[in-house]
Structure 1
């Protein structure tokens, strides 16, 4: 069912998020502690996106292989630092393709996006919502997966000028209506703010002095981690965190 994380704050080596902590994202790929709704490991690909200093558009690295098979990544992650990062490891839903383009993060312009979960009744459950998307968007999906269509739905709202928190909450609301029982932990960032949801899966937040870290599971046993209750939306910058019920999200 995937694991993901987002970081905003002073630049840190990617390795300090992906590999170094005792329960790093790489560890969560093969030894997750709180998988819900099926799945035991996250071995169907991974991705990491980050903003180089001064960049508006993020850089992204993805693979269809398990993160532990990429022998060049630990050194790369030690050499690259960023103050804005989104990374994910994937556990593909049965029937979904295991290809590089199905791995989060998905991107468009300044945005990075990840989905931890599953849309129940896929694909017929979202057919009506998909009909409202531009044909070009449907023809250029990264992959024929529920996560990719979720990104297309969120992206369409962002392009229309909808505030990020409102866009994410609206898409979750639409999916709850047409595909009840779906698991919808979403994570969105533009390198300055993060929007995350909890619906069916775990999520924790670690506010710090000038930094914020959001992760499916805490990276370490430190006392600063705060679990986010199910059905909530997190809006965060490097210095502020707000947690509200999804369906009373700020506009």
Structure 2
């Protein structure tokens, strides 16, 4: 597995990508990321930092709280004791974990590390949206003023919040933002986890995105050496429902027990009931 790719904390040079790994959960009670996924599967997820080693981040929501809390670091998860410390704590009943593989030219710095958090909302992205200048042109002056870093992903987050404010509705705003981005950037992966006061949304919109096989082969040497699913299903997302929790994850773990998130859809997980619903964000005209 991917753990064999990591040698003495040194990663190989990367190509021009911003492609990351995502893990999200909604549970009936606060639990740790390790407990929720299970120690073995969580270790497999963490070992993906052999490829996705440009920092990590977590966000979590405590029951009854109106704010999302979080932590980020530009250090590889495999090298950062803080990552393992937080992963072992029952921080909240809903949350997400992000492992970053940064685009060349975008600084590996805390200001660019996912998730991006504002009050009751947090977003972590797996993909690359370019040109960034075109993406930024979709933002209002107020949204641009709130930017702190240089990534396309933070601009994605600000567009989602902007659309929620414009529509007055969480799911409609998210769907509008995703539809608008898909319209302007049809070859981009918009895969993301978006945590709100009521739901965890898993955006799985990437039908025009190409798997970064050349970058992966340069990094690990061959298709056989890649983590599970990276060569054939890089942008896939899947979810698992248990009696007490729902988990959603990007490719990298064994497939058994996981249900694929439908292509070009948004999986919505209710934080109170853990009920799941599949939404079609591309059915909503972006101009509405």
Common topology (TM > 0.5): yes
- Aligned twin of 2:41: 22
Work out which of the two has the higher radius of gyration on C-alpha atoms and give 1 or 2. Answer: 2
| Rounded Cα–Cα distance in structure 2 between residues aligned with 1:170 and 1:160 | 10
Give TM-score scaled by structure 1 length. 0.84
Gaps of 5+ in 2: 1-18, 207-234
The within-5 A match list for 1:139-218 is 139-200=145-206, 201-217=235-251
- Aligned twin of 1:244: 279
In the TM superposition, residue 221 of structure 1 has moved relative to its aligned partner by 5.0
Deviates more, 1:96-105 or 1:147-156: 96-105
In the TM superposition, residue 219 of structure 1 has moved relative to its aligned partner by 4.7
- Aligned twin of 1:123: 132
| Rounded Cα–Cα distance in structure 2 between residues aligned with 1:218 and 1:9 | 22
| Rounded Cα–Cα distance in structure 2 between residues aligned with 1:73 and 1:19 | 16
In the alignment, is the contact (CA less than 8 A) between 1:84 and 1:192 conserved in 2? Answer: no
Number of corresponding residues = 235
| Rounded Cα–Cα distance in structure 1 between residues aligned with 2:252 and 2:274 | 19
Give SS of 1:195's match.
strand
| Rounded Cα–Cα distance in structure 2 between residues aligned with 1:166 and 1:76 | 33
In the TM superposition, residue 230 of structure 1 has moved relative to its aligned partner by 2.2
Deviates more, 1:172-181 or 1:148-157: 172-181
Give SS of 2:111's match.
helix
In the TM superposition, residue 65 of structure 1 has moved relative to its aligned partner by 1.0
Give TM-score scaled by structure 2 length. 0.74
Distance 1:98 1:75, change over 3 A: closer
| Rounded Cα–Cα distance in structure 2 between residues aligned with 1:5 and 1:155 | 21
| Rounded Cα–Cα distance in structure 1 between residues aligned with 2:111 and 2:277 | 32
Of the three residues 32, 46, 54, the one matched with 1:13 is 32
Q: Decide which structure has greater helix share.
A: 2
Give SS of 1:114's match.
strand
- Aligned twin of 2:6: none
Of the three residues 84, 92, 108, the one matched with 1:74 is 84
In the alignment, is the contact (CA less than 8 A) between 2:23 and 2:96 conserved in 1? Answer: yes
- Aligned twin of 1:62: 72
- Aligned twin of 1:37: none
In the alignment, is the contact (CA less than 8 A) between 1:168 and 1:195 conserved in 2? Answer: no
Q: Give the ranges of 4+ consecutive aligned residues of structure 1 lying more than 3 Å apart after TM superposition.
A: 218-222
In the alignment, is the contact (CA less than 8 A) between 1:90 and 1:103 conserved in 2? Answer: yes
| Rounded Cα–Cα distance in structure 1 between residues aligned with 2:280 and 2:40 | 30
- Aligned twin of 2:9: none
In the alignment, is the contact (CA less than 8 A) between 2:239 and 2:260 conserved in 1? Answer: yes
CA deviation string 1:162-214 (max 9, x = no partner) = 32222222112212222231111022112531112212221101122242111
Distance 1:54 1:246, change over 3 A: closer
